[in-house]
Amino acid sequence: MRKKYRSHVGVLLDILKAIDSEGQSTISSIIQRANIPYERLKPYIKRLIKEEYIREIRKSDKTYYEITDKGYRLMNELSYIKRIFDELGFML
């Protein structure tokens, strides 16, 4: 069975949705919810932090990630674009 392709936009949206689903998410949770391996996730997380779409929070010995206001705007815009692509029958 062939795997379903996800564009970078689709992956970004899945990552943001995974973080949003819990408010604050660990890497393990993002990996599971976004269905993305750690090695592929790392550069996305670094870039999202650098561009201030998400922030890293350290509590005791755990690291969590949460979406910033800028990240929520991006997630909403990507969701809108995805709906348009879906209506047109294209994968995003």
Mean pLDDT by 10 residues, the chain (92 residues): 69 95 93 94 96 94 95 95 88 74
| Per-residue confidence (pLDDT) for residue 44, from 0 to 100 | 95
| Per-residue confidence (pLDDT) for residue 4, from 0 to 100 | 64
- Tokens, residue 87: 């209506």
Instruction: Spell out the domains of the chain, with CATH numbers in brackets.
Output: 8-83 (1.10.10.10)
User: How far apart are the C-alpha atoms of 55 and 88, rounded to whole Å?
Assistant: 34
| Per-residue confidence (pLDDT) for residue 2, from 0 to 100 | 42
